[in-house]
Amino acid sequence: MHIRPFASEDRYRLTEIWRTAVEATHDFLTVADIDYYEPLVRDSYLPAVEVWVAEDAQGALTGFIGLSENKVEMLFVDPSVKGQGIGRTLLDHAHSLKGRLDVDVNEQNPLAMGFYLKYGFVQTGRSETDGEGKPFPIIHLAQPQTCS
């Protein structure tokens, strides 16, 4: 696996990864919700953050992480390669660049919560709505100050 910076030609493949990952893990979202967010991810969210992509030995994109300062704004892995350490490798890369990280997780996504808690994040707060004001509660997590 290789981690490299985002290139503009990655945008559509990363949006596909986002959609398939969300469909596999975000049971609380309807198809209409996913359809609403998809163009925002592709056209607004990806260009607004520092994105790093994971690619396999053949150069196929398998996942990505989007950062704003030390905050993980997005982390998605293609479900067909889930469980192979791609998410952890992307987080390790982000940590090596930024130090202590923060992340927000949908409360209704227990797999993501478990992933971040296992990585060492701790809960620091909760919001009733997501960043778009939709009624999807968010759990705020951070790595402890002593995390290196």
Model pLDDT for residues 72-91, shown as the tens digit of each residue: 999 999 999 988 899 999 99
Q: Which of 52, 28, 4, 17 is nearest to 130 (CA)?
A: 28
SS3 81: helix
Using CA atoms, how far residue 44 sits from 40, 49, 76, 107, 109, in Å, is 5, 9, 16, 23, 23
Q: Which pLDDT score, from 0 to 100, does residue 4 have?
A: 96
Residues of the chain with pLDDT under 70: 146-148
Strands 71-77, 102-106: pairing kind: parallel
Any idea which residue has 């893990």 for tokens? 25
In the chain, how long is the greatest CA-to-CA distance? 42
CB-neighbour burial class of residue 128 (10 A; exposed 0-12, middle 13-18, buried 19+): exposed
Identify the H or E element spanning 125: strand 122-127
Q: Which pLDDT score, from 0 to 100, does residue 74 have?
A: 94
Q: Which pLDDT score, from 0 to 100, does residue 148 have?
A: 47
The per-type count for the chain, helices as H runs and strands as E runs, is 5, 7
